Amino acid sequence: MSKMQSVAVIGLGSMGMGVAKSCLRADFDVYGVDVNPAALEELASCGAKATSTSAVAFAQELDAVVVLVVNAQQVRTVLFDSGLVAALKPQTPVMVCATISAEDAKAIAADLATYSLPMLDAPISGGAVKAAAGELTVMASGSQAVFAQLEPVLSAVASQVYTVGEEIGMGSTVKIIHQLLAGVHIAAGAEAMAMAARANIPLDLMYDVVTHAAGNSWMFENRMKHVVDGDYSPKSMVDIFVKDLGLVADTAKSLHFPLPLASTALNMFTTASNAGYGKEDDSAVIKIFPGITLPNKE
């Protein structure tokens, strides 16, 4: 097997940009793809081999493709609608990191196989900070051969790689169950901080207490800091959790499994989205609570 040298990262949001920069630090030739010109410029200034709104132009140069878009439709757009799959060399591994249903993962893998392109079902977690540090958690499923092909990339971007199994879709299912917790933790954190606001407890004090006590969670510590700062600039949007908790609900329905807490959290995020907060940081779910005054960014 020839040495893996060139990697395209498709989707240069807060997670994708971190993955691309981690690959640069690992001395890959990195090609960046995004519709946002500012993201392309940022990655180019960091030493990317090339950046573009499409990977087709440099498809023949690539040893691997990493896809970090939001949903299954976007995965299909960047791979199939763009013409990329037809332009890639056969056996180029495609690492799909989007949070999608197991059914969508299986269907995308089957369609990639018609072009002789192996897929790793490889959702990720850790947030923008871990992505930038090359310390993501990857929960992946796929053949042993595609794991072996992508090992250099996985080593560059992740500190934890969980091999969930060979069956495509298993990695996505693990991520969906993880997102159940993430969404519920944000919703619960927002509820607690909203109650503190109602009780006239200073939110910076409440935040400090919780982050030094047993009620803390990674999501509380990360997201409720945005509430304390009054800064809802999106790292992960409210609408992302409408989508992800929708996937949780769909997966539970297929398993005939009740989800009392996740269902409530989905309703909270959906309410926030309908109120106009869908493009704000997911911590903006706190804005659905009436009769409270929240900090404003100065």
| Domain residue spans of the chain | 6-168, 173-288
Q: Is 30 helix (H, G, I), strand (E, B) or coil?
A: strand
Question: Distance between terminal CA atoms of the chain?
Answer: 55
Q: What is the pLDDT of residues 23-64, one digit of tens each?
A: 999 999 999 999 999 999 999 999 999 999 999 999 999 999
Q: What is the pLDDT of residues 241-284, one digit of tens each?
A: 999 999 999 999 999 999 999 999 999 999 999 999 999 999 99
pLDDT the model gives residue 64: 98
How many Å apart are CA 131 and CA 89, to the nearest integer?
A: 28
pLDDT the model gives residue 142: 98
Q: Is there a contact between 78 and 84 (Cβ–Cβ < 8 Å)?
A: yes
How many Å apart are CA 267 and CA 273, to the nearest integer?
A: 10
How many Å apart are CA 223 and CA 133, to the nearest integer?
A: 19
Q: What is the pLDDT of residues 162-192, one digit of tens each?
A: 999 999 999 999 999 999 999 999 999 999 9
Mean pLDDT computed over 196-210: 98
297 in active site: no
Mean pLDDT of all residues in the chain? 97
Q: Is 173 helix (H, G, I), strand (E, B) or coil?
A: helix
Q: Is there a contact between 257 and 263 (Cβ–Cβ < 8 Å)?
A: no
Q: How many CB atoms lie within 10 A of CB 107?
A: 16
pLDDT the model gives residue 297: 83
pLDDT the model gives residue 2: 60
- The whole-model pTM stands at 0.95
CATH architecture of residue range(s) 173-288 = Orthogonal Bundle (1.10)
86 φ/ψ sector (left φ>0, alpha ψ -120 to 50, else beta) = alpha
pLDDT the model gives residue 47: 97
Question: Of the candidates 225, 224, 141, 148, which has an alpha carbon nearest to the alpha carbon of residue 187?
Answer: 224
Going by pLDDT thresholds of 50, 70 and 90, the confidence category of residue 235 is confident
How many Å apart are CA 60 and CA 63, to the nearest integer?
A: 8
Q: What is the pLDDT of residues 84-116, one digit of tens each?
A: 999 999 999 999 999 999 999 999 999 999 999
CATH superfamily of 6-168: NAD(P)-binding Rossmann-like Domain (3.40.50.720)
Residue of 21, 49, 130, 175 with catalytic role = 175
Which residue type, as a one-letter code, is found at position 33? V
Q: What is the pLDDT of residues 273-285, one digit of tens each?
A: 999 999 999 999 9
pLDDT the model gives residue 3: 82
